[in-house]
Amino acid sequence: MRPQILTVDDSKSLRIFVQKALSGFDCEVDEAANGFNAFFSIERTRPDLILLDVSMPVMDGIEMLRRLKSTPEIQAIPVIMLPSPPDHAVIPQFTAMGACGFLMKPFNAASLIEKIRSVLVLQPA
């Protein structure tokens, strides 16, 4: 079965970047612009991995991670946080809150693939 990856970021350009970076792999990529909308996507697709921005409007990544990890039905979904340099103060909280890692922005496609492969098996398309 193809892995399902959900990218949650208010930056449309980052969501497009992730989509393009993963286009050569056999996986499905869904997206949401904030944590609130992400929960609708999670309900619909039950992703195998969530790539989660920290600073977003409506519901930021820290609040989304907190809610995700406190919901038994979905708390096992691995989450890779995507902080920007201004978010450095909250990075130590990620592991304690249940994230499986983080990838500091800006990053390149190779770093993204490597980080995803630390959690999921990605096969070429």
Measured CA to CA, the distance from residue 51 to residue 106 in angstroms comes to 14
Q: With a cut of 90, say whether residue 1 has pLDDT above it.
A: no
pLDDT in tens, 95-113: 899 999 999 999 999 999 9
Q: Judge whether 62 lies within some domain.
A: yes
CATH code, 73:
3.40.50.2300
Which residues are CB-neighbours of 18 under 8 A, at least 6 positions away? Answer: 5, 7, 9, 29, 31, 51, 112
Collapsed DSSP state (helix, strand, coil) of residue 4: strand
Any bridge partners for residue 82, and if so which? 53
pLDDT in tens, 63-78: 999 999 999 999 999 9
Name the domain count of the chain: 1
pLDDT of the residue at 72: 96
pLDDT in tens, 38-92: 999 999 999 999 999 999 999 999 999 999 999 999 999 999 999 999 998 999 9
Q: Judge whether 123 lies within some domain.
A: no
